[in-house]
Amino acid sequence: MAPEITPDDCPCGSRQPYSTCCEPCHQGKPASSPEALMRSRYSAFVLNLTDYLKATWHTSTRPQDLDLTEAPKWVSLQVLSSDEGEHEGTVHFRALYRAGGGWGYLEENSRFVRDGERWYYVSGDTREGTLKPGRNESCPCGSGRKYKACCL
């Protein structure tokens, strides 16, 4: 059984306090790796920090506008793999979300580049799908409880 998530836990799922995990990046500190940047960007999606998302998006692919008003409710993040070179990196992740009465996932292989001391998100190959948890499976919300006793 997964430990309960407390309000002090970072949205990225690191089980670290937000104040020492993603918040320093959100306040301007450069992310230490592509994975750290991806985690901070996921947390920014959860917290609706559009300015941070745009600031960490490489200028070659950054959208002019970013509207998160219709975004789903992001509930958990799984980093499946990450790789870091001197100037480039990749992160493969799966993010679960709640939309309406159901669950979905976004899986992405993201590409990052380093410019000076900062990492930037460039692009990603994504796929989305519907998640249909069984009654006795762990709840997708990350509570650690069975789905039937949690969000069903």
Q: Could you tell me which of 26, 25, 35, 9 has the C-alpha nearest to residue 121?
A: 35
Hey, what are 77's tokens? 């993040």
Whether the pLDDT of residue 7 is over 70: the answer is no
Question: What pLDDT score was predicted for residue 2?
Answer: 35
Whole-structure pTM value: 0.88
| Cα 32 from chain centre | 16
pLDDT at 60 over 90: yes
pLDDT band at 146 (very low <50, low <70, confident <90, very high): confident
Of 4-8, 56-60, 93-97, which gets the smallest average pLDDT? 4-8
- Residue with the bigger pLDDT between 16 and 134: it is 16
| CA-closest candidate to residue 132, choices 102, 96, 107 | 102
| pLDDT single digits (tens) 82-140 | 999 999 999 999 999 988 878 999 999 999 999 999 999 999 999 999 988 888 888 88
Hunting for tokens 């990450």 — which residue is that? 82
**Mean pLDDT across the chain, nearest whole number?**
90
DSSP label of 7: T
- Residue with the bigger pLDDT between 57 and 4: it is 57
The pLDDT assigned to 54 comes to 97
pLDDT winner (highest mean) among 20-24, 136-140, 143-147: 20-24
Provide CB contacts within 8 A for 61, sequence distance 6+: 122, 123
pLDDT value for 5: 47
Burial label for 27, CB within 10 Å (0-12, 13-18, 19+), is: exposed
57, 120 in Cβ contact below 8 A?
Answer: yes
Name the E strands within 8-67.
none
CA distance 150 to 143: 8
Contact 95, 77 (CB under 8 A): yes
pLDDT of amino acid 97: 93
pLDDT at position 3, please? Answer: 39
